[in-house]
Structure 1
Amino acid sequence: MSRRIRRPRPARPTPATCPCGLPAAYDDCCGRLHRGQAQATTAEQLMRSRYSAFAVGNEAYLLRSWHPTTRPPGADLDPGLRWVRLEILGTTEGSAFHTTGTVEFRAHYTQGGRTGSLHENSRFVRHDGAWVYLDGLTQD
Structure 2
Amino acid sequence: MSENCFCGSALPYGQCCELVHSNLKNAETCEQLMRARYTAFVLQKIDFIYETFHPQTRRFQNKKEIEQWSRESNWQELNILKTTPSTVEFKAIYLDRNMVLQEHHEKSNFKKLQGIWYYVDGKLLA
TM-score, normalised to structure 2's length?
A: 0.90
- Counterpart residue number, 2:41: 54
Structure 2: tracts of 5 or more residues without a match: none
Aligned pair count reads: 120
Confirm or deny: 8 A CA contact 1:88 1:105 kept in the other structure: yes
Alignment deviations for residues 80-138 of structure 1 (CA, whole Å, 9 cap, x no partner): 21111000000112xxxxxxx00000000012221111000000000121000000000
Work out whether 1:76 is the aligned partner of 2:71: no
Higher helix content, 1 or 2: 2
User: Rg bigger for which structure?
Assistant: 1
> Is 1:135 matched up with 2:121?
yes
4+ residue runs over 4 A deviation: none
- CA distances 1:24-61 after superposition (whole Å, capped 9, x unpaired): 11111001100111000001000000000011100011
Q: Which residue of 1 aligns with 2:28?
A: 41
Give the corresponding residue for 1:122. Answer: 108
Is the Cα–Cα contact under 8 Å of residues 59 and 77 in structure 1 kept in the other structure? no
Identity %: 36
Question: Hey, what does 2:77 align to over in structure 1?
Answer: 85
Secondary structure, aligned partner of 1:21: coil
Is 1:105 matched up with 2:53? no
Distance in 2, matches of 1:15 and 1:88, equals 23
Q: TM-score, normalised by structure 1?
A: 0.81
Shift of 1:77: 3.2
CA contact 1:53–1:61 (8 Å) conserved in 2: yes
The root-mean-square deviation of aligned C-alpha atoms, in Å, is 1.2
Classify the secondary structure of the residue corresponding to 1:66.
coil
Q: What is the CA-CA distance between 1:76 and the residue it aligns to?
A: 3.3
CA contact 1:17–1:25 (8 Å) conserved in 2: yes
Q: Which shows bigger deviation, 67-76 or 41-50?
A: 67-76
